[in-house]
Amino acid sequence: MTSAEQSADGASAGEGVDQDLLDLPAPPRGRRVATLAVMALVVVGSLGLLLSLTSDLRYYFAPSRAADLGEAVTLDPSALVSNAYVTVRGTPMMSGTVRYSRFFSGASYLVFPLAGQRSVFVQVPMDGQDERTFLRREFSGRLVTFGQLGSRFATVRNYLQDNMDMPVSSESYVVLADETPQSYVWVLGLGGLCVLFIVINVWMLMRWFKPLPRLSPPAVPSGAAE
């Protein structure tokens, strides 16, 4: 075999392999593990947030026409269905009113029972005109239980129990007045963002662990053995 043929064979054997890339050092193991852990945490966190939004998503797709529950004094709590858009009528009790504010948004609300019963409460946003609230007798909004509202309503529930001697439990109902299904359109955006984070990070994890394709050895020319 001539020197020219040997040079040609060497060029064919090295074809498709970038020696500069092969000479690069492997990425630090600690940094690689940290990156994978962060991506996995993003997936887990996004899944958890998406699951916590399922109730809000169901309410967004609820019928836009409120179910009329009638007078609060005639309601049978065992017949009520939570996470529904309803209308209820009754006289607000000023003596049983609790005012509270949300920590992150800073929004303030009033929570009070309707006269003649202690099973259904109403929450209305404070707009600086409290007297107008107590002139209303009809409230439309989302019907949920105190328990479904989680820890943010635990303080309100404890205050009603301890300071106003009201038999409030996690199964007691509250109407979130003026919250229509259409007002929860923000849930679609937040849910879509969670899905996007999950898809991107799962795709990156799959690419990271995908094995590199093996290069097939070059074909030996028929005259190389001569």
Low-confidence ranges of the chain (pLDDT < 70): 1-28, 128-131, 210-226
Strands (E), 76-137: 84-89, 98-101, 108-113, 120-125
The pLDDT tens digits for 138-150 are 999 999 999 888 8
Contact by Cβ (8 Å): 135, 150? no
Kind and range of the H or E run holding 82: none
| pTM for the structure as a whole | 0.74
Kind and range of the H or E run holding 5: helix 3-14
Q: In 3D, which of 92, 116, 98, 117 has the Cα closest to residue 163?
A: 98
In whole angstroms, give the CA distance from residue 191 to residue 40.
Answer: 18
The pLDDT tens digits for 177-197 are 999 999 999 999 999 999 999
In whole angstroms, give the CA distance from residue 16 to residue 22.
Answer: 12
